[in-house]
Structure 1
């Protein structure tokens, strides 16, 4: 695209700041993948020019995207959607772009206002620590945007009280990338996540998981490790000798991280930040043929009503489900059934119609 195309009704770009650094070509992180890259592919089915990159700006062309490792920018987009954009230098540009006829959306997949102090995102977005890139600027950009796109009912209701135009499009899984786990006779119990981005979630496992593993002669698996397994073992109160690990990997390799265990765990501390989270991890487990147990947040209660996942509110309930899932037959039946439900209801293709409808509506303004 170039500036001569800036009045084209149908063009859509995602301005994303969630990237996995150190990879060539540049690769989005998990948020950028699910909330920018996959939706971009769906919107492209309209036959429009689409794009994704870091935010760029040129006075005569409004907001654009950097490509080719920020050496070349593309402008002329009728609609742009901001994702995790919190830079101070963007603040004065949004009103100008809107005045020049550019539609500004902001996608929100986490309750930024509810991030907890022990989550590394709290420090990274603290205005006192990062005056030019922080959650206060995020709030200003959200307020300036024409439309907000949220991923859960909690986020929708939270922002509907603050903004005139809020939409909800749930996450969808690119299910074709996920292979079914070949269930082992003796199950390995696993969790996927980076401990520094969690908020006391693993402490949900503290009172019972270590003893359960010892009593049943089972092992645990942590995919997403960046500390040699010490962080997961310490936070979940599990003997380190019982934990095997897989390192943090870029999103393109992420499905491989789910091929090492047979039962998935989704422990979530009870707070608004987690209540606002989507059930994406459960969908990824289900797409991989891994039965799982989750804390009974609103999203996981909703997912269980669709036939995916088990819910636990107490150590006794977690262990009861694990007892049942030690049966290979139970796990295999559950794995096949839940994969079918994901394919029938929860793929990114199912969400694509909603993204295309949104794109058409905002382009027609």
Structure 2
């Protein structure tokens, strides 16, 4: 491993690792920099004082020891965090327990404090992090450029697929919409729901003949190629944790030409163009109202999908790579 300008130290191999480390590394590599990324830090990155280290939510004990050691050496360290980890809801018990641990919280704070810079996804998250480090760069989530040209393999037998994809950390969000989705599917027989990643259709007790489930696949890019919705849904509870999240699900769907029906909570309020690229739900009955409008009108779906794709074109990694370059390399 030679000429390594930047090493991205991922926290995981899931969506967070992809969107906030792997994809940004691809973006700045395209600008001519030598990059690498992994969940393990190689000696070439650790021992080369010229290599900038981007550390994703470094907070476990052993990684913290290394991070603090590198900081003491005067290394350029960029701390990456994309969630409000101080307000994880109890409906995600494993994450809630982990980030409520006093040692983990202390490590988060002191690792942010010694970083040269911090990168975050949204302004609300930046406001939280600035109490420990003033040099915060807000870099919105972006999607791979190829997504704009990809055509989802949707059903063409007359059944309209309503879809959602993500991890098992959205129970509180689906609690907001479960009754409305069940009622909509019951009243609209030519529809189905497709869940990717976690089977919230089963959790909502939607009949098996009206639901499909695709478990998490090998990579985020494979996951994106699995999306086959006609209409996307993005429920989000108005919770302090969610106020700092991004509109990534709307951007993913939009890049694929899929209109979305989303909760009118800050991430989506700031992104979805109501009535143009999708709909924002402010009252429970509007889930059914907006889904019916899109299900019953293929021309409306096509027009909104095209507008959503045009909007998403401004949110690809090639458009945000320069922001990463500035934050990471100064």
With normalisation by structure 1, the TM-score equals 0.80
For these two proteins, the number of residue pairs brought into alignment is: 322
1:189 is the counterpart of 2:183 = no
What CA distance in whole angstroms lies between the structure 1 residues aligned with 2:42 and 2:100?
25
Quote the residue 2:247 is aligned against.
279
Written as runs of structure 1 = structure 2, the 5 A alignment for 1:1-365 is 1=1, 11-19=5-13, 29-56=14-41, 64=46, 75-119=48-92, 120-127=94-101, 134-177=104-147, 179-181=150-152, 182=154, 184=156, 185-194=158-167, 196-217=168-189, 218-225=191-198, 229=199, 231-234=200-203, 236-249=204-217, 250-259=219-228, 261-305=229-273, 308-326=277-295, 327-343=297-313, 345-361=314-330
Tell me, yes or no, if the aligned pair for 1:188 and 1:219 is still in contact at 8 Å: yes
Match of 1:67 in 2: none
Q: 1:137 Cα shift?
A: 2.4
Gaps of 5+ in 2: none
Which stretch of the first structure deviates more once superposed, 301-310 or 107-116? 301-310
Contact 2:237 2:265 in 1 (8 A): no
In the alignment, the residues of structure 2 paired with residue 176 and residue 286 of structure 1 have an alpha-carbon distance, to the nearest angstrom, of 13
Give me the CA root mean square deviation. 2.4
Measure how far apart 1:55 and its partner are. 4.3
Deviations 1:306-335, CA, capped at 9 Å, x for gaps: 953320022221111112102111101111
Report the 3-state secondary structure (helix = DSSP H, G, I; strand = E; otherwise coil) of the residue aligned with 1:289: coil
Offset from partner CA, 1:261-311 (integer Å, 9 cap, x none): 211110011101111111011111111221111111212111124953320
Tell me the CA shift for residue 206 of structure 1.
2.0
Structure 1: runs of 5+ lacking an equivalent: 20-28, 65-73
Structure 1 distance, partners of 2:11, 2:114, is 18
1:148-176 C-alpha deviation (Å, 9 max, x unpaired): 11111111122223322111010111031
Q: Encode CA deviations 1:58-92: one digit per residue, 9 max, x unaligned.
A: 6xx8x62xxxxxxxxx7444311111322212334
